Amino acid sequence: MSTAGAFETARKEGRSALVGYLPAGFPDVEGSIEALRVMVDAGCDVIEVGLPYSDPVMDGPTIQAAAQRALEQGTRTTDVLRVVEAVASTGAPTVVMTYWNPVVRYGVDRFARDLADAGGAGLITPDLVPDEADEWVNAADADGLDKIFLVAPSSTDARLKRTVDACRGFVYATAVMGVTGARASTSDLAGPLVARTRAVTDLPVCVGLGVSDGAQAADVASYADGVIVGSAFVRRLLDAEDLRSGIASLAELTRDLAEGVRRA
């Protein structure tokens, strides 16, 4: 299922989509598969599978800690693709969130082909701008993958237009300046950024960075097409005494967030 299908379904239901993130290989490969499947069952419409990277400059301490644990256990790009395949088999659109360097090391065309073969819907590339993305754009187009680039409150009008024109699937709007992490309140920069983005594209606009509970999800869902949650999910697993309790906590949080996007 494409991400477009998930957003269309949510739109017909009069709500925003819930997009959930976890790194592959955290707490281990099989554990991440189980956790992500539980998130789908509990209400996530789209799944982001993180590719653990050794230099996560845009990630806050929570996601960095999870990625480091995944790397210490030897998680590789092939494991990430295995997680994608397992999660995509549920029917939930599944995209990979990755820094660009691991894709280059793996081989851009090979990565696109293997991601498509695994049932992946596309790729989010936080440190790749469209001006420097010709190789990825060509590979993604060849395999029918979504190309998801980021816009930020600091994006100029010209940069924002170039970015959304290069996107397919949805646009990722970073709601706050700085690294990722759950926050006590959502940013007042998010609404204006979504409005600016919608003025130049018909693609769904999803807001990420900072949402940690259903109330915040409802707030963001009142103006965005999708609510992206990452650090809050990761924190539930990091704080858990064991995988069983972590999975239960993840399910509880997902239900709260899913109710939030519907309440909005």
Q: What is the DSSP string of the chain?
A: --HHHHHHHHHHTTSPEEEEEEETTSS-HHHHHHHHHHHHHHT-SEEEEE---S--TT--HHHHHHHHHHHHTT--HHHHHHHHHHHHTTT--EEEE--HHHHHHH-HHHHHHHHHHTT--EEE-TT--GGG-HHHHHHHHHHT-EEE-EE-TT--HHHHHHHHHH-BS-EEEE-SSSS----SS--TTHHHHHHHHHTT--S-EEEES---SHHHHHHHHTT-SEEEE-HHHHHHHHH-SSHHHHHHHHHHHHHHHHHHHHH-
Catalytic residues: 48, 59
